[in-house]
Amino acid sequence: MSYSHELAARTIAATLVAAPELPALDNTYGALFLGMVFGLMLYGLTVHQTYRYFRLYPSDRHFLFWLVITIVILETVHTVAIIAACYWHLINNFFNPLSLQEGYWGTRVLTPVTGLTILVCQCFYARRVWYVGPKYRYLVGVAGCLIVVIFGLTVASTVETIRLSLADFQHVSWLVSALFGVAVSVDIILTTTLIVILLRSRTGFKRTDSTLGVIVVYTVNTGLLTSIVGLFCFVFAIILPGNIIYIGISIVGTKLYANSVLAVLNSRRALSNRMLEGDEMGSFEPRVAVHRPHTQAETWDIPQADRPVDAGSAMSFVRPTDLTTNFTTELTTLDSETAGTRSVMLQFGLDDKKADVFEKKSVTSLPV
């Protein structure tokens, strides 16, 4: 009897020695699960901002329309891949932790979708700086070269993700780290350049300077979050390549990139209203109610009765791009406020040619 017990003990010991080492759960399954949780929260915000965009700007330019469509498609594919990966690892292979080392199509899709989302968002920011600051277009050229580098790193990472298992991918995780490192560099260049342009566009007029101040705050907020999360992903992919903490962080970073672009697009209505009403940022003075016709975006789901509008009571607010026509026909000349107003108009999504036309006819006061 003792011999049989001793043989069983030796067999169990030999089995334990021969068994492969199981991966830790906190920095593998845990990181993937937490990334999915926060990613789903941010995806809900993406859906809300997309709905808000199409409601506020149903007649927006085709470029911005297809930009939003592209972002939503990429974010949807990204979210589906995250859910599929978590379900496969945590449910289908609940008793097989080693499956995490093999990888799955969901985790393999994350890399190209993440890179494409960053590319689309960075191109939008580069285009914005290109139009706002002609004197700083050489910096946009530098950012454009870095965007090309991001594209190359995305292609290389995708190829390695398909070719290697998740366990072997740790040897080339520096590609993901480099991708986010370059993306953070582009964020810093474009955000800093735009802030400098806006600060130098101050005119001394409270209305324009107040609006410029709000745009600076928007710029800092949208660029700061993506830069911080991208920096974390850059660091963790270098110092901890053996786990997938950086994948969980990259999930959140990708969602933040998409939401930052949508937030910039949706802020145009608030900025235009602020400019027209002439409110002071941080002012505690009581605001006077401004009566103006509702826009089509605000009343698209409400039956409208045909009724005449007093031509002298308010401006036309059919859509944001109509601001240019109303400005040029209803406002008089003041050359000293041109630069700031032009920058603000470009932030509303007006094209460069229309802003150049308005640059020749500046502002004295805005109807409120």
Q: Walk me through the domains of the chain, giving residue ranges and CATH numbers.
A: 25-277 (1.20.1070), 320-359 (no CATH)
Handedness of CA 323, 64, 250, 119 (dihedral sign): negative
Can you give the pLDDT at residue 365? 33
Per-residue pLDDT tens digits for 45-81: 999 999 999 999 998 999 999 999 999 999 999 999 9
Task: Examine the pLDDT at 347 and tell me if it is beyond 70.
Answer: no
Per-residue pLDDT of 156-191, as tens digits, reads 999 998 888 777 787 888 999 999 999 999 999 998
Residue 274's pLDDT band (cuts 50, 70, 90): low
| CA dihedral (288, 289, 295, 300) positive or negative | positive
CB-CB neighbours of 359 under 10 Å = 14
pLDDT band at 134, cuts 50/70/90? confident
- Give the residue ranges of DSSP H helices in the chain: 2-18, 29-56, 62-87, 99-102, 105-132, 137-163, 174-200, 206-239, 245-277, 323-330, 338-347, 352-359
| pLDDT band for position 235 (cuts 50, 70, 90) | very high
Mind listing the pLDDT tens digit for each residue in 298-311? 333 334 344 444 44
Comparing 91-100, 117-126, 132-141, 214-223, the range with the smallest average pLDDT is 214-223
Confidence of residue 251 (pLDDT cuts 50, 70, 90): very high
Contact 39, 251 (CB under 8 A): yes
Q: Residue written as tokens 């109509």?
A: 322
- Asked if pLDDT for residue 103 goes beyond 80, the answer is no
The whole-number pLDDT of residue 22 equals 62
Amino acid at position 177, single letter: S
The answer to whether 258 and 121 have CB atoms below 8 angstroms apart is: yes
Report the C-alpha gap between 118 and 356 in whole angstroms.
30
Give the model's confidence band at 334: pLDDT under 50 very low, under 70 low, under 90 confident, else very high.
very low
How far is C-alpha 213 from the chain's CA centre?
21
At 353, list the tokens. Answer: 């040619």
The mean pLDDT of the chain is: 74
Record the tokens describing residue 12, joined without a space: 């169990």
- Whether the per-residue pLDDT at 16 is higher than 80: the answer is no
- Name the pLDDT band for 11 (thresholds 50, 70, 90): low
